[in-house]
Amino acid sequence: MNWFTRAQSAIYFTFTDRKYYLIGASTFIIVFFLYLIILPANNTGGQISLANLNYLSFQLAIFAFIMAGLLSLIVPMNFKLKASGQRTHSAGTIAGGIGGLLGSLLCCSFILPSIVAFIAAILPNATFLMGVQGFIATHEPLILLASLLILIYAFLISVHQIVNCPSCQIKGHH
């Protein structure tokens, strides 16, 4: 079975149950909306509000759509695996989902300077942290790309787990 066929089988297996379809659809709607609002935060001084939609670029909308789409596949797959009595590896899902938000949240909001100030108060020699916010602002597209790659990897892991799940009985694999 090639990866495309495996992914199709895992998606079909997961979404044949209406409950998991609703979980996936809900995840997509919520996460897509959050990404649409949060990803343009670097253009609004870190402010998170509906006004951010005015600063939404086509590229950020595409990232939001793809990342929300991947999460809307991964989350129900992990729930289905848990319901089948299998262990799930959700670290990649969490890392990719949060990573997509971190670039925008840390770049221009009060969060990173507050963290740096706290660390500097504890460790006065932590001057290496001063360039972190500039690095994030400069490299946000790469951070988004890395988050996207982590989500793709998490999706492939979920597919692998479902296809190799002894109690899932995917047609054509066992």
Burial call 18-57: b when 16+ CB within 10 Å, e when fewer: eebeebbeebbeebbebbbbbbbbbbbebeeeeebeeebe
Output DSSP code: residue 91: H
Tens of pLDDT, residue by residue over 2-21, are 889 999 999 999 999 899 99
As a whole number, mean pLDDT of residues 38-48 equals 74
pTM: 0.75
Average pLDDT, the chain: 76
